[in-house]
Amino acid sequence: MSKDILKDALEEILNESYEEMTGLDIPDYDFSDSFKEKMEKLTAVPEEKAEKKHRKIGWMAISALTAAAAAVCIWTGVKSTPKLEPKNSDTGNIITATEDSTGVTEVPGGIVRTTAPGTDIKYTVTTTAGSETPITSAEVINGNGNNTVNGGGSTYTRPSGKPAQTPKVTVTTARTSVQAAVTTVTSAHILPHVPEVTVPPDKPHSELDEQTADYERSIVMKKFLASAAAAATLMNVIPTGTQAAYEPPTVDHYMSEYIFPALEDGTVSPDINNDGVFDRYDIAALWSYVIRRVDYLPEGSRLVSDSDLELIAERGDIDQDYMIRMNDLLYFTRYYLYKNGVDPEDLDIYNYPDTNGNVTLTSFYFVDHLKTLAFSDNYLYKYASDLIKNENIDLDFNCDGKADIYDLFEYQMYTYSSYESPFNDSAAKKLVPISSITWDKCNEYHEKNFFDNRSDETLVRYYIFNTPFDADVLNYNNYYDYFNQLISQTSLTAAEKKDMGKSLKALPAAFSSNIKEAALEADLATVTSHSYKLDRQFDADYQDELDEAIADFEAKMLSGTVAPPDANLDGSCDMDDYKTILDFASDLERGNDATTSISLAPDIWDHLDNEFDLNNDGVSGDILDLQIAEAIITKYTNDDSVDLNALLDAFSSDSEAQAADKEAVATVNQIKYLEAFSGKTIERSGDADGDNQMKMNDAVLIMQTISNPDKYQLTTWGEFNSDVANTGDGITPMDALGIQNRLLKK
Amino acid sequence: MELCLDSSAETSSKISFEEIYLKNRRLMMYTAMNILNNFADAEDCVSEAFLRFSKNFEKYSNLDCPKMTSLLVIIVRNAALDKYRENQKICLSETPDEDVGAVSLDSYSFDSVISAIKHLKDEYKDVLMLRYVYGYNINEISVLLKIGSDNVYKRIQRARKALAKILDEGGGKI
């Protein structure tokens, strides 16, 4: 109320003062020429500036709103995904037959390398020296015995009807070189022979598959949403070049200069497990040692035995600094990837059973490590790039006679649909406005890269790095128009077209964002200043929007849904945050960023720039966010009725727990996904209460959660670990019994 | 007098920067001259004020006539005060001040508050005007007055404190 009185009083004075001014007898000043000249220049500028700003604001506001609205539409679309039918366990979606090979094919030139991992899944890997003539085709035989891929590169083919995960098949890989070699990997594990595999319209799947598909979908949605939001924040990307000068590097200078030579010249042996060969199991051995998963997983889950651990302690110091630590693991893994590139077999968790022959969480974590580095160090990119070049893959997915950026846009739509409906191709095709032929061609390519969950991004990068750069590819409007054109060409009704346009609205923004990121990576574009974040205040409706946003945020904050603004990350919400916000606004105005800010530490600047989206509009740290924070802090700093810091503390502890649980759910879902597609389960530890041990109280806790679920609940990990009996059927009394049996056997 | 004769007339966004300049330059010059008593310095302040005004012209051009003219006067007055201090070699940096609690004006009559505001220094009055009448945030005021955001915040706090003091001491009583 005080504020209102003050405002009214000030207005009254302002009007009085204006009346006084109108009554003044002001002389006619004879302004100087320099003053007149200065003012002439100045009067010419503002209108021009205002016009430019108007155009810019219109574009930006629309894009940001589009991204935000599209995100909502996509989520709505996710929820309406049709339910899938349970799978008949007799008709597994996993490949069921391999060549019955009991021996190794003799190839002239002699055997030069053999790897036998010594696990229950027996492989014989044989590399034979080739002739001087480069090998131009490689036969790939899967369970059907009928998939053949031609080309000189390392290839891998997924059998039809199997959405993901590496099949246990016979693979023949050809390397193109003068002294070409042929490596034959032969499965000696004899599986029931199925002479003919027919693919039903719906790919076989189980309820568990549905859960895992949900997980995959959530990953894709997060990616699209992130990209859509990024499209709003990266809109100020401008072109700076015409052709990428390099391809994404797979090895850095430090490694090739200082680390790899020691491995190459024998100073350090890459044969960590001392079995006579350098292969993926050496990486697994060092990983086991460094990560020390053995500390909290059941003893049987170790990938290596105690004696191996002792061996690794002697041989694992890759960088020769007298310590075996994460650096050694990273260097060594990179060296392996450098020498071998991506081999899909390396990324199959079922190639890494523990010392008891079981595939456990340990296997999953190890593959995750390998895959993370393969992606970040561009080996997944290189795999795709080599594949395209060596097999001369036609990227003209839409069959319009040219392979251009719009083919990749359609490929992205394909990936979206295939994650949306992983078991039913015909249903997937209906989700997106691309033709059936295009969808099939995209699918054909995806089959070759199925282990790359980001193959759409990889393709965009390939395009940006390998074609002359046309700045027009950065134009979001192109994709928006193309997308609408595709929808208009479908045979859908007008209402259906409208629904499709609404539900997939984020796709053009997400694709545009991928292109911008690739262009930035290739030094073909640069991001202009962040100052656009302040421009929104000039929008005609800004004040109304701000009032609404403040009220909305305040209501959410008081109900505990969102945290009070902690701009400087000091764990409290006070006037220091207010000052931080002002400093940030000042930086934006001056064109400073995290590195050039004088007042703010880089982490705080980045926090405001990327994580301070108080109105949840996809743009962090813009004028709306800053003014919301300003309003909240100034209002409640002097209001004892609300303790902002208590609200902040309560929210932080809740959100930490929620974040931890989300992470657990995501990881567990990912594991279930792998299990579903491989048809094999990972050994459960029996640790229901999360104390890293399996004891009788775990069995008791399981029974308690069954009999009194209101009082006792298992955590996500606890539930996962407890499902020891008939794994996959959820928590039952049999699991408690299973734990007791295990303990008795001990 | 080149001010808007009809204050109720819609100035709206259609008014051009040049028109605003032509209508207000003399008043602004008069304001600056009253403080500086130096023609060249006053001209500098007027041009400086228009420069600051031009930065957010699109927004300000929507103000009605009294508010727009008053805004220009506020800007030029502060520019002139800055210039005056500069000439006097007075370094006025806003030093940290103790926290000022909320000023409750509920217990005072409206006329008392008006009277108290009139007793305030111009720079305090101006910053309160900009904050509460024009509704500008700290950052916007910072740009208009060409002082740091911290100083704007402190100045608002001080203005409210000074206002409370005047009211407490009965200075606002009529």
Convert the pLDDT of each residue in A616-644 to its tens digit: 887 888 888 998 998 888 888 777 778 88
Token representation of residue A583: 């400093």
Q: What is the pLDDT of residue A7?
A: 83
Assess whether pLDDT exceeds 50 at residue A453.
yes
Contact in structure between A63 and B68 (CB atoms under 8 Å): no
Please check whether residue B6 lies inside any domain of the structure: no
Assess whether pLDDT exceeds 70 at residue B81.
yes
Q: What is the pLDDT of residue A50?
A: 47
A591 φψ region: left (φ > 0), alpha (ψ -120 to 50), beta (else): left
Tell me, yes or no, whether B148 and B174 share the same domain: yes
A 581-640: CB under 8 A from B: 582-583, 585-586, 589, 626-627, 630, 638
Assess whether pLDDT exceeds 80 at residue B111.
yes
Tell me, yes or no, whether B71 and B109 share the same domain: no
Q: If you average pLDDT over every residue of chain A, what do you get? A: 71
The boundaries of the domain holding residue B133 are 105-174
Q: What is the pLDDT confidence band of residue B61, given thresholds at 50, 70 and 90?
A: confident
Token representation of residue A671: 């594991």
Please check whether residue B3 lies inside any domain of the structure: no
* HSE, side-chain direction, 13 A CA sphere, residue B162: 20
Q: What is the pLDDT of residue A119?
A: 31
* Lookup result for tokens 């966010």: A625
Assess whether pLDDT exceeds 90 at residue A726.
no
A79 φψ region: left (φ > 0), alpha (ψ -120 to 50), beta (else): alpha
Domain ranges in chain A? 111-187, 208-247+382-527, 253-377, 530-652
B 23-82: CB under 8 A from A: 25-27, 29-30, 39-40, 43, 46-47, 50-51, 54, 56-59, 61, 66-67, 69-70, 73
Of A11 and B100, more confident: A11
CB contacts of B118 in chain A (<8 Å) are 13
Contact in structure between A114 and A124 (CB atoms under 8 Å): yes
Of A595 and B24, more confident: B24
Of A664 and A658, more confident: A664
Q: What is the pLDDT of residue A204?
A: 62
pLDDT in tens, A283-297: 988 888 887 644 444
Q: What is the pLDDT of residue B51?
A: 85
Q: Pick the range with the lowest mean pLDDT from A34-48, A104-118, A257-271.
A: A104-118
pTM of the model: 0.43
Assess whether pLDDT exceeds 80 at residue A343.
yes
Pairing of strands A111-115, A237-239: unpaired
Q: What is the pLDDT confidence band of residue A184, given thresholds at 50, 70 and 90?
A: very low
Q: What is the pLDDT of residue B105?
A: 63
Tell me, yes or no, whether B15 and B87 share the same domain: yes
Decide if A322 touches B, using CB distance below 8 A. no
DSSP for A318-335, written as a single string: TT-SS--SHHHHHHHHHH
Region B41-45: mean pLDDT is: 89
Helix/strand/coil for A183: strand
Q: What is the pLDDT of residue A442?
A: 94
Q: Which residues pair with A186 in a beta bridge?
A: A124
Q: What is the pLDDT confidence band of residue A46, given thresholds at 50, 70 and 90?
A: low
Tell me, yes or no, whether B84 and B109 share the same domain: no
- Closest C-alpha among A405, A410, A401 to residue A438: A410
CATH number at residue B72: 1.10.1740
Return the amino acid letter for A606. D
Region B53-65: mean pLDDT is: 78
- Closest C-alpha among A423, A388, A427, A426 to residue A408: A388
Region A125-136: mean pLDDT is: 31
Most confident of the ranges A180-194, A232-246, A267-281, A666-680: A267-281
Return contacts of A447-450, CB within 8 angstroms, 24+ apart.
A447/A157, A447/A158, A447/A160, A448/A149, A448/A155, A448/A156, A448/A157, A448/A158, A448/A387, A448/A393, A449/A383, A449/A384, A449/A387, A450/A158, A450/A163, A450/A164
Q: Where among B35, B59, B91 does a domain terminate?
A: B91
Q: What is the pLDDT of residue A531?
A: 66
Instruction: Give CA–CA dist A159/A167, Å, rounded.
Output: 8
Q: What is the pLDDT confidence band of residue B22, given thresholds at 50, 70 and 90?
A: confident
Distance from CA of A366 to the nearest CA of B (A): 51
Please check whether residue B69 lies inside any domain of the structure: yes
The phi and psi torsions of A554 (rounded to 5 degrees) equal -60, -45
Assess whether pLDDT exceeds 70 at residue A377.
yes
Instruction: Give CA–CA dist A411/A423, Å, rounded.
Output: 18
Q: Do B59 and A537 touch (CB under 8 A)?
A: yes
Q: What is the pLDDT of residue A398?
A: 92
Q: What is the pLDDT of residue A45?
A: 59
Strands (E) in A178-233, as ranges, are: 181-187
Assess whether pLDDT exceeds 70 at residue B98.
no
Q: What is the pLDDT of residue B152?
A: 81
Q: What is the pLDDT of residue B65?
A: 80
Of A319 and A194, more confident: A319
Token representation of residue A62: 């629309």
Q: What is the pLDDT of residue A407?
A: 96
CB contacts of A21 in chain B (<8 Å) are 1, 3, 27, 69-70, 73
Q: What is the pLDDT of residue A223?
A: 60
Assess whether pLDDT exceeds 80 at residue B73.
yes
Q: What is the pLDDT of residue A219?
A: 58
CB contacts of A582 in chain B (<8 Å) are 138-139, 142, 149-150, 153
Instruction: Give CA–CA dist A664/A662, Å, rounded.
Output: 5
CB contacts of A585 in chain B (<8 Å) are 139, 149
Q: Where among B59, B91, B123 does a domain terminate?
A: B91
Q: What is the pLDDT of residue A173?
A: 28
pLDDT in tens, A402-413: 999 999 999 999
Q: What is the pLDDT of residue A404?
A: 93
Q: What is the pLDDT of residue A483?
A: 93
Tell me, yes or no, whether B117 and B152 share the same domain: yes
Strands (E) in A492-568, as ranges, are: 525-527
Counting the structural domains of chain B, the total is 2
Q: What is the pLDDT of residue A438?
A: 95
A169 φψ region: left (φ > 0), alpha (ψ -120 to 50), beta (else): beta
Q: What is the pLDDT confidence band of residue A595, given thresholds at 50, 70 and 90?
A: confident
Q: What is the pLDDT of residue B18?
A: 82
Assess whether pLDDT exceeds 90 at residue A414.
yes
- Closest C-alpha among A355, A354, A382 to residue A366: A354
Q: Do B132 and A538 touch (CB under 8 A)?
A: no
Distance from CA of A621 to the nearest CA of B (A): 14
Please check whether residue B99 lies inside any domain of the structure: no
Of A207 and A717, more confident: A717
Assess whether pLDDT exceeds 60 at residue A168.
no
Pairing of strands A137-138, A123-129: unpaired
Q: What is the pLDDT of residue A292?
A: 65
Nearest chain A alpha carbon to B64 = A15
Assess whether pLDDT exceeds 70 at residue A163.
no
CB contacts of A35 in chain B (<8 Å) are 43, 46-47
Please check whether residue B47 lies inside any domain of the structure: yes
Decide if A29 touches B, using CB distance below 8 A. yes
Q: What is the pLDDT of residue A608?
A: 92
Tell me, yes or no, whether B125 and B67 share the same domain: no
pLDDT in tens, A477-501: 889 889 999 999 999 999 999 889 8
Q: What is the pLDDT of residue A653?
A: 67
Using only the alpha carbons of chain A, give its radius of gyration. 31
- Closest C-alpha among B88, B81, B6, B127 to residue A6: B127
Token representation of residue A165: 């995960």
Tell me, yes or no, whether B136 and B162 share the same domain: yes
Q: What share of chain A is helix, strand, coil (3-state, %, to 5)?
A: 55, 5, 40
Assess whether pLDDT exceeds 80 at residue B49.
yes
CATH number at residue B145: 1.10.10.10
Q: What is the pLDDT of residue A486?
A: 94
Q: What is the pLDDT of residue A172?
A: 28
Q: Pick the range with the lowest mean pLDDT from A192-201, A316-325, A572-581.
A: A192-201
pLDDT in tens, A185-231: 333 333 333 334 344 456 666 554 565 566 556 656 666 655 555 55
Angle at which helix A207-233 crosses helix A644-678, to 10 degrees, equals 130
Please check whether residue B1 lies inside any domain of the structure: no
Distance from CA of A597 to the nearest CA of B (A): 15
Assess whether pLDDT exceeds 60 at residue A298.
no
Q: What is the pLDDT of residue A599?
A: 79
Q: What is the pLDDT confidence band of residue A310, given thresholds at 50, 70 and 90?
A: confident
Q: Do A5 and B110 touch (CB under 8 A)?
A: yes
Tell me, yes or no, whether B23 and B68 share the same domain: yes
Q: What is the pLDDT of residue A463?
A: 93
Tell me, yes or no, whether B78 and B44 share the same domain: yes
Q: Pick the range with the lowest mean pLDDT from A100-114, A191-205, A402-416, B73-87.
A: A100-114
Please check whether residue B4 lies inside any domain of the structure: no
A 537-576: CB under 8 A from B: 537-538, 543
Q: Pick the range with the lowest mean pLDDT from A12-21, A23-32, A417-426, A652-661.
A: A652-661
Please check whether residue B166 lies inside any domain of the structure: yes
Q: Do B114 and A13 touch (CB under 8 A)?
A: yes
Assess whether pLDDT exceeds 70 at residue A148.
no
Q: Where among B41, B63, B91 does a domain terminate?
A: B91
